[in-house]
Amino acid sequence: MTEEGIPAPPWERPRKRTVPARVPLTRERIVDAAFAVLDRDGYEKLSMRQVAAELGVAVSALYAHVSGKDELLDLMYHRLFDGMEVPDPDPDRWQEQLREHMRGMRARLLRHRDMARISMGRVPFTSELLPHVERLLAILRSAGLPDRVAAIAGDLISTYVEGFVLAEEIWQERLRTERFSWDDVRRELQEYFASLPADRFPNMIALADLMIQESNDYRFELGMEILLRGLASYVTEPRANG
């Protein structure tokens, strides 16, 4: 307490409490939070309630922006394509264009845990994603692929990439939860193959090291080349650009 007429010193004056500004809830923030939950806890734990907890809001607040988990998964799937550009078709480089597309898709899927699982359950025929599909089909048709092949080639490519990444993620999860390394798996497989009767399994024994030593990158690239060479076998005369 101060005497009358004498102001209180600064350190005795009541401090104003600063209340942080409330950040508006938006779809973008909800999707960001959903990815945070997915990366930390995985697909099985991803729920509207968990996303609301991540944001520090009531779960009912989410429904003003997202109708439910299914729409949330759609939004996460759309986010996968943010910034992705499919080039104009170049008949002389169509295989390299598809390689770049497939490598880019794998890299995007691997950015987030269990994203391949979400992606495999969605279809790209939405207003946001149709331009990507259209340009990919343009590359396939400009290469000279028959329409009956080009019509499903894009889906085959997506299925290969998503399936490959899903298998990668399954093994990563096993290694994480069961607390063993790929070196342990490789060593056990080597010992198992070496124990097989040579007269009954000569091919498995001959190829054993090649089957288990190669990296995921090598396996992905080889599978991609097998797929592209298969498509190339259908090529007739490349169509003109446009």
Residue 184, both tokens: 């342990």
- For residue 220, CA distances in Å to 97, 142, 169, 224 come to 16, 25, 14, 6
Which residue shows structure tokens 């979400």?
A: 118
pLDDT tens, 110-133?
999 999 999 999 989 899 999 999
Name the residue among 134, 163, 132, 130 with its Cα closest to residue 151: 134
Residue-level pLDDT, tens digit, the chain, 242 residues:
556 667 777 666 666 655 455 678 999 999 999 999 999 999 999 999 999 999 999 999 999 999 999 999 999 999 999 999 999 999 999 999 999 999 999 999 999 999 999 999 998 989 999 999 999 999 999 999 999 999 999 999 999 999 999 999 998 888 888 877 878 888 888 899 989 999 999 999 999 888 888 889 999 999 999 999 999 999 987 776 54
pLDDT tens, 177-207?
887 787 888 888 889 998 999 999 999 999 9
Q: In this structure, which CATH number among 3.30.420.40, 1.10.357.10, 2.40.37.10, 1.20.200.10 belongs to the domain 91-232?
A: 1.10.357.10
- For residue 159, CA distances in Å to 66, 70, 119, 120, 171 come to 28, 21, 10, 8, 18
Q: In this structure, which CATH number among 3.40.50.10860, 1.10.10.60, 3.20.20.450, 1.20.210.10 belongs to the domain 22-79?
A: 1.10.10.60
What predicted TM-score, i.e. pTM, was given to this entire model? 0.84
- Characterize 194-208 residue by residue with b for buried, 16 or more Cβ atoms within 10 angstroms of its Cβ, and e for exposed: eeeeeeeeeeeeeeb
* Domain locations in the chain as residue ranges: 22-79, 91-232
- DSSP assigned state of 219: H
